[in-house]
Amino acid sequence: MPATATCPKALHAHLLRSGALFADPSAAAPLAAAASLASLPYALSILRAHPTTFSYNSAIRALARGPRPHLAISLYRSMLSHSRSHPNNYTYPPLLAACARLADSDSSSAAAAAAAGVALHASLFRRGLESPDRFIRASLLSLYAAAGDLPAARQVFDLSPPNHRDLPLWNSLLHAYLSRAHYVQVLRLFRTMRTADHVTLLALLSACAHLGALHTARWAHAYLATTCSFPITTNLATALLNMYMRCGDVQTACSLFHSTPTRHKDVHTWTVMIAGLALNGFSTDALHLFTHMKDHNIQPDSVTLTAVLSACTHAGMVDEGKRILRRMPLDYHLQPTIEHYGCTVDLLGRAGLLEEALALIRAVPFKADVALWGALLVACRCHRNFEMGQMVAMEILRLDPQHAGAWVFLSNVYAAAGKWDLVQEVRISMKQHRIHKPPGSSVVELDGVVYEFLSGDHSHPQSDQIYAMLDEIGKTLSLKGHKPATKLVTFDIDEEDKEVCISQHSEKLAVAFGLINTRRGAVIRIVKNLRICEDCHSVMKVVSEVYDRVIVVRDRNRFHHFKSGSCSCLDYW
DNA sequence: CTAGGGTTAG
C-alpha cells in the first residue's frame, strides 16, 4: 500500500484504480479512518458504500483519538441508526475512551460526556459484551475514573473475576486513584500486585512525588532498579527525576540527570529538572539548565516556559520574567497561554508591583479566569492592598461564587475595617454556598510510614508528648525573642485556620513529632497541603538553629529548606 | 479473518 494514509483522496483514488476497494471489503476500513479525520461527510459517504462493522470501528477509533473526540460518538449514533452493521466488542473501547477524554476535560460538555459514557455502558451490557472482554472492562474503569466516579470504577474492578484481572486493569485502577489524588491508595494497591510494568511504575513514582515521601520514593526506586526486568524508558526516567525533585532530594535528581545519556532526555526530562530546581529554590540553576537545554537543540514547549517563569517568580527576577514572556513568540514560536500570563501576574504580584499586575490582567488577549485573578488576590493579601484586593475578590466571585479564598479575604477586610455587619453577611453567604476551607494538613514520614497531622489535631497516640514538645519549643523561642505573628488580618484560605490557635498549625505538630521521634541530626521532612504561614516559617527557622536540625518543608507552592536559622527561600515566597 | 484497554510534567 502506498504511503497515503494521511491523504484520504489519494488513497481513495488508488483503491478505486487498483480495484482493491471492490475485491476486498476490508480495504475500506483504513480509508474510512483517514477520511473521518479529513471530513466527516466524506467518511459517511464511504461508509454508506461499505457499511461493515470493521470500517465503522476503524473510523470511530480514528475519531476518538483525534482532536474532536465527540465526533466518534456521533459516528456511533449514525452507525446505530443508518447502518445494518452492528457494534461489536471492538467498537466500545475507543468510544469509552472518547467519553473519558471529554469527561476529564473542564469543558462545559464534560457532564454530558460522562452521561454518554454511562449510556454506552448500558448499551454494551445489553449486547452481552461486558463480561467477556477485558479491553472493555479496562476502558469502562478508566471512563468512570475520568468522570469522577471512583466507586463505580472500583466496582468494575471488583466485579471482574480475579483470573480476568490482567495488568492493564490493575494499572487502570492505579491511575484512577492517582487521578483523584488518593496517593496512599496507590501505594497500598501496588503492594498487593504480583507483577508490574512501566505503566505501573509511572503510577507508583507519581504517587510518591505527590506525597513527597522520600523513604517510600527511595524504596520505589530500589524496586525499579532490582525487581523490574523491563527497560527504563525516557518517561520512567523523567518520572523518577520528578519524584526526587518533589521529595526535595535535589542531589539525587541532579546526579541521576547527569548520568542519563543525552539521547534518553526529551523535552519533558529537561522540563521536570527546570521546574524541580525552581521548586527547591535553585532558580539560577534552573535558568542555567534552560540555556543548556537550548544548547542541546531541545525545543522548549509551553510547560517548559511555565517552569522557567516560575523560576523567575521564586527568585524575584521580574525583568527577566517579563522579557521571557514578551519574547516567547519570537524565540520559541510559542503563544503565551493564560497560564503563562498567570505566572507573570504571580511574578509581578509577589514583587509588589500590583498595579502592573492588574494592567497585565486587563491586557491579556483572553477572558481572565479565576486562576489569573487568584494570583493577584494572593499578592494583594501579601502586600496588604485591601482596596485592590476587594475589587479582585469581587471579580473572582462573579466567575466562581464557590471560591473560598475570595470570601475569606472579603471577610478579613471587613473585619479589619470594623464593618461587622458586612462580616456577618459574608459568613451567611458562605454558609448558603456551602463553602468550607480544606483543613490544613502536614505529612511526615518515619521509617517508611506516613503520618498525617491536621491543625489542632489531638488524635495521635503521642499527642501529649507532642504538645509538651510544642510548649518546650515555645519557651525556647520566647527566650530567643521570637513573638508569635498574630496579625489582625491573617485568616486566609491559603494558610491554616486562624480560629485554631496558630501554635497548633499542622506543620508545628509535625515538626514536634519529628523532633521527638528522630535522632539528633536527622533531617525532618514535612509536606503540607497549604502554603506555610509567616509564623510557622519563622518558627521553623529558629527551630532549625536551636535544635540544630535541617527541616525541609514542601508547601503548596515550593520547598523551604531550613538550616542554621535561615531558609532557602530567603524569606521570599 | 483484520483492530482494541492502562502512559510522564505545571
Please provide residue A218's backbone torsions phi and psi, each rounded to the nearest 5 degrees: -65, -35
Three cell numbers, residue A324? 521571557
pLDDT for A355 beyond 90: yes
Residue A2: pLDDT band with limits 50, 70, 90: very low
Which nucleotide has its C1' atom closest to residue A200's CA? B6
Q: Give the separation between CA A149 and CA A141, rounded to whole angstroms.
A: 9
- How far, in Å, is the CA of A368 from the C1' of nucleotide B8? 29
Tens digits of per-residue pLDDT, A301-318? 999 999 999 999 988 899
Closest residue by Cα to residue A11 from A33, A24, A23:
A33
Average pLDDT over residues A249-274: 94
- How far, in Å, is the CA of A163 from the C1' of nucleotide B2? 28
Distances (CA, A) of A44 to A17, A40, A284, A565: 21, 6, 56, 71
Q: Which residue has the higher pLDDT, A273 or A106?
A: A273
Q: Which residue has the least CA–C1' distance to nucleotide B1? A: A26
User: Who contacts A341 (Cβ-Cβ below 8 Å, separation ≥6)?
Assistant: A325, A360, A361, A364, A366, A372
Q: Which residue has the least CA–C1' distance to nucleotide B4? A: A90
Q: What percent of chain A has pLDDT over 90?
A: 63
- How far, in Å, is the CA of A306 from the C1' of nucleotide B1? 50
- How far, in Å, is the CA of A313 from the C1' of nucleotide B8? 24
Which nucleotide has its C1' atom closest to residue A237's CA? B8
Lowest mean pLDDT among A36-45, A128-137, A409-418: A409-418
Three cell numbers, residue A554? 514542601
Please provide residue A197's backbone torsions phi and psi, each rounded to the nearest 5 degrees: -130, -170
pLDDT for A499 beyond 50: no
pLDDT for A362 beyond 60: yes
Chain CA centroid to CA A300, Å: 20
Pairing of strands A551-554, A566-567: unpaired
pLDDT for A418 beyond 90: no
Q: Give the separation between CA A2 and CA A20, rounded to whole angstroms.
A: 13
pLDDT on residue A500: 53
Give the start-to-end residue ranges of the domains of chain A: 441-567
* Cβ contact A148:A110 at 8 Å: no
How many Cα atoms sit within 13 Å of A383 on the Cβ side?
A: 20
Residue A489: pLDDT band with limits 50, 70, 90: very low
How many Cα atoms sit within 13 Å of A27 on the Cβ side?
A: 17
Tens digits of per-residue pLDDT, A100-130? 999 988 778 889 999 999 999 999 999 999 9
Q: Give the separation between CA A231 and CA A159, rounded to whole angstroms.
A: 33
- How far, in Å, is the CA of A128 from the C1' of nucleotide B6? 23
What value does the mean pLDDT of chain A take? 89
Q: Is the dihedral of CA A248, A506, A177, A122 positive or negative?
A: negative
* Cβ contact A380:A350 at 8 Å: no
Closest residue by Cα to residue A242 from A208, A195, A215, A290:
A208
pLDDT for A561 beyond 50: yes
- How far, in Å, is the CA of A202 from the C1' of nucleotide B7? 7
pLDDT for A563 beyond 80: yes
pLDDT on residue A4: 42
Average pLDDT over residues A83-97: 93
Residue A20: pLDDT band with limits 50, 70, 90: confident
Q: What residues pair up with A445 in beta bridges, in sequence order?
A: A450
- Tell me chain A's radius of gyration from C-alpha atoms: 27
- How far, in Å, is the CA of A559 from the C1' of nucleotide B4? 43
| Strand, coil or helix: A319 | helix
* Cβ contact A407:A436 at 8 Å: no
Per-residue HEC secondary structure of A45-60 comes to: HHHHHCCCHHHHHHHH
Query: Side chain identity at A3, as an amino acid letter?
Result: A
Which nucleotide has its C1' atom closest to residue A170's CA? B6
Which nucleotide has its C1' atom closest to residue A58's CA? B3
- How far, in Å, is the CA of A42 from the C1' of nucleotide B10? 40
Which nucleotide has its C1' atom closest to residue A168's CA? B6
pLDDT on residue A1: 44
Which nucleotide has its C1' atom closest to residue A340's CA? B10
**Which strand B bases fall within 7 angstroms of a protein CB?**
1-10
Tens digits of per-residue pLDDT, A167-215? 999 999 999 999 999 998 999 999 999 999 999 999 999 999 999 989 9
Which residue pairs, CB below 8 angstroms and at least 24 apart, start in A123-132?
A: A123/A87, A124/A87, A124/A92, A127/A86, A127/A87, A129/A88, A129/A89, A129/A92, A132/A89
Residue found by looking up cell 492517582 in the block: A178
Closest residue by Cα to residue A138 from A187, A186, A171:
A171
Average pLDDT over residues A251-280: 94
pLDDT for A239 beyond 80: yes
Which nucleotide has its C1' atom closest to residue A301's CA? B9
- Please count the helices (runs of H) and the strands (runs of E) in chain A: 29, 6
Distances (CA, A) of A300 to A238, A294, A296, A305: 15, 8, 11, 7
Please name the residue ranges forming H helices in A127-182: 134-146, 150-158, 167-179
- How far, in Å, is the CA of A365 from the C1' of nucleotide B10? 21
Burial class (CB in 10 A: 0-12, 13-18, 19+), A222: exposed
- How far, in Å, is the CA of A211 from the C1' of nucleotide B10? 16
Closest residue by Cα to residue A572 from A208, A311, A296, A338:
A311
pLDDT on residue A347: 94
Which nucleotide has its C1' atom closest to residue A146's CA? B6
Strand (E) or helix (H) holding A527: strand A524-528
pLDDT for A503 beyond 80: no
Residue A512: pLDDT band with limits 50, 70, 90: very high
Average pLDDT over residues A492-512: 71
User: Who contacts A102 (Cβ-Cβ below 8 Å, separation ≥6)?
Assistant: A69, A70, A109, A110, A112, A113, A116
Q: Which residue has the least CA–C1' distance to nucleotide B5? A: A135
Q: Give the separation between CA A205 and CA A224, rounded to whole angstroms.
A: 10
